[in-house]
Amino acid sequence: MSAVIIDGKKIASEVKSELKIRIGSLKERNIIPQLAAVLVGENPASIQYVRMKTKACAKIGITSKTITLPNSISEKELLSVINDLNKDNDIHGILVQLPLPPHINQLKVNMAVDWAKDVDGFHPANLGRLLLGKPNFIPATPLGILELLNRSGNPPVGKHTVILGRGDLVGRPFSVLVSLKDKKANSTITLCHSATPDISVFTKQGDILICAMGKPESITGGMIKQGAVVIDAGTSAIDDPNSKKGYRIAGDVDFKSAVEVAGYITPVPGGVGPMTIAMVLANTVTAAEKLSGRYNG
């Protein structure tokens, strides 16, 4: 038997259709949601991610601008750029593309973004509100995974969700999000990481298995519970002589063996990735709604 493939692109486009309606309502009130992306340096992956996000904005009617800064920019100068964006009433969302150069303190930068415009959800106060179960902005990838589960007919309520990886961007915030007392969440969770002696003890117990380690194709069918929902948030570049570029993007899951055991599975690409972008858009629309005073937040 072969698992049902969860189509992240299709679900993301459902989300985007819903956003278009909300953007339409904003425009009737002469509010055009606007995202500012701050890009430091010339990391090709960062350039590509920012381009994907701004392109996705354009498609649904969010204005965006990209502020490109040299790798040599000082922390002080970067903070001043962010401060200007904070003060600009036409900007509703600010995202600072990671990683930042090593001479810049990422925590300081995250804290400099006005948390009412923090559409990445990386400001500690937004993360703290998540921990308190009173979220304001939730980081895009965890939020996208939660939507993916609920919209694919696999709500995590009452299930045992096993999460592999405790990174700031996916594993740890998702573990908090999916265990909140909320009708879309409410899951028992297990969080495994590099200090877990044998992850297969836990992976085999997961009704839902979230892979966010960045260890390409390391989770095989034999490690997965029969019928489990497997979400692969891994994205690693691995050598591939058959590809034109000489590499390909691989998830954490060995798809070939996993698809025979899982009940539902996301592909890489086309699973979590499109949902992450959709949630950046969703957070930007929400920011515009809140900042324009339509909702109290």
Active site residues: 53, 97, 120
Nearer to a copy of itself (CB atom), residue 171 or residue 273: 171
> What 8-state DSSP symbol labels residue 117?
S
Please check whether residue 156 is in contact with residue 208, taking contact to mean a CB–CB distance below 8 angstroms: yes
Instruction: Find the largest Cα–Cα distance for the chain.
Output: 57
Distances (CA, A) of 295 to 134, 158, 292: 16, 31, 8
**Which of 196, 235, 257, 292: binder of a copy of itself (CB under 8 A)?**
196
Does 86 bind a copy of itself (CB under 8 A)? Our answer is no
Q: How far is the CB of 191 from a copy of itself (least distance, A)?
A: 5
Angle subtended at Cα 60 by Cα 55 and Cα 61, rounded to the nearest 5 degrees: 95
Nearer to a copy of itself (CB atom), residue 166 or residue 225: 166
**Which of 186, 200, 235, 236: binder of a copy of itself (CB under 8 A)?**
186
d(CA 179, CA 247) in angstroms, rounded, equals: 36
Q: How far is the CB of 212 from a copy of itself (least distance, A)?
A: 14
CB atoms within 10 A of CB 155: 18
**Which of 6, 172, 262, 268: binder of a copy of itself (CB under 8 A)?**
172
Binding to a copy of itself by CB under 8 A, coded x per residue (else -) over 115-144, reads --------xxxxxxxxxxxx----------
Q: How many CA atoms lie within 13 A of 5 on its CB side?
A: 11
**Scanning the structure block, which residue is given the tokens 């969440």?**
185
Does 193 bind a copy of itself (CB under 8 A)? Our answer is yes
**Which of 76, 87, 181, 245: binder of a copy of itself (CB under 8 A)?**
181
Nearest one of 178, 221, 174 to 193, comparing CA atoms: 174
d(CA 42, CA 24) in angstroms, rounded, equals: 35
Nearest one of 142, 105, 139 to 122, comparing CA atoms: 139
Q: How many CA atoms lie within 13 A of 22 on its CB side?
A: 20
Give the interface segment with a copy of itself, choosing from 3-11, 14-22, 42-50, 174-182 (CB under 8 A): 174-182
Nearer to a copy of itself (CB atom), residue 47 or residue 131: 131
Q: How far is the CB of 294 from a copy of itself (least distance, A)?
A: 21
Does 154 bind a copy of itself (CB under 8 A)? Our answer is no
Nearer to a copy of itself (CB atom), residue 44 or residue 197: 197
Number of residues that bind a copy of itself (CB under 8 A): 38
Nearest one of 215, 136, 214, 229 to 177, comparing CA atoms: 136
Binding to a copy of itself by CB under 8 A, coded x per residue (else -) over 197-236, reads x----x----------------------------------
Q: How far is the CB of 192 from a copy of itself (least distance, A)?
A: 5
d(CA 244, CA 259) in angstroms, rounded, equals: 26
Please check whether residue 33 is in contact with residue 23, taking contact to mean a CB–CB distance below 8 angstroms: yes
Nearest one of 129, 76, 85, 81 to 105, comparing CA atoms: 76
**Which of 14, 42, 168, 240: binder of a copy of itself (CB under 8 A)?**
168
Give the interface segment with a copy of itself, choosing from 25-33, 194-202, 244-252, 285-293 (CB under 8 A): 194-202
* Chain residues in the site for a copy of itself (CB under 8 A): 107, 111, 123-134, 157-158, 166, 168, 172-173, 175-176, 179-181, 186-197, 202
